[in-house]
Chains A and B, each alone.
Chain A
Amino acid sequence: QKEVEQNSGPLSVPEGAIASLNCTYSDRGSQSFFWYRQYSGKSPELIMFIYSNGDKEDGRFTAQLNKASQYVSLLIRDSQPSDSATYLCAVKRSSGSARQLTFGSGTQLTVLP
């Protein structure tokens, strides 16, 4: 079982729709959860992070965390063609002095004009 799992997609949504991206993780002690966006040929950039169960909103983006289900999601409202990218879920483990992020393999999102 991978530590962080995402549906690879591709996920296609029409412009203006809600895109829903999902991620599950295996380490029940994980404390911090991140969503990075990566455009083709570019490096990842942080969109949001969340620590507590529930929802966290930032503009058109909402991150949702359910630690009991070991599940993290990202909702993108009013999707735009410029949102077309690969979305990487990342988890920071809590053990010892671990500081590195463990990334999923990403979900490729295409927003159709």
Chain B
Amino acid sequence: DTGVSQNPRHKITKRGQNVTFRCDPISEHNRLYWYRQTLGQGPEFLTYFQNEAQLEKSRLLSDRFSAERPKGSFSTLEIQRTEQGDSAMYLCASSLVQGEKLFFGSGTQLSVL
């Protein structure tokens, strides 16, 4: 168990640019989640996958956000035409299908200038 790995740890970009983050879950975990957290707030759900199927997306997720998990292993989260309001910590978590415990990665801190 090497834990949930996220890359990069930090990303600074200019408004209007596209960014992509990667998450490698714990290998035997079927479920993968993306959350966003801003300072002083709890994590906010974005989307989740069971294997390669994206089963749920937050209504708050704009069309500029897209996530994939092509082979049911790692996942990518892309934000197109970034805005300053996208600045946040993007957290990935994974779990077993029957598990209640989410294992979080260290997150990717995005700063949009």
Contacts and interface: CB of A to CB of B under 8 A. Distances in A.
Interface in A90-110: 90, 92, 97-106
Given A43-B104, A99-B55, 18 more contacts: A32-B100, A34-B100, A43-B91, A43-B105, A43-B106, A44-B102, A46-B102, A49-B100, A97-B55, A98-B56, A100-B45, A100-B58, A101-B45, A102-B45, A103-B43, A103-B44, A105-B42, A106-B41
Contacts of A45: 104
Interface majority SS (helix, strand, loop, mixed), chain B: loop
B48 A88 contact: no
A106 B91 CA distance: 16
Contact of B42 (A99, A100, A104): A104
A4 B44 CA distance: 12
A32 B107 CA distance: 25
**Tier of interface size on chain A:** 20 to 34
Given A43-B91, A46-B101, A49-B100, A90 B42 contact: yes
Contact of B104 (A44, A92, A98, A100): A44
Contacts of B102: 44, 46, 101
Nearest to A45: B104
Contacts of A49: 100-101
Interface string A51-92: 000000000000000000000000000000000000010101
Contact of B31 (A8, A88, A99, A103): A99
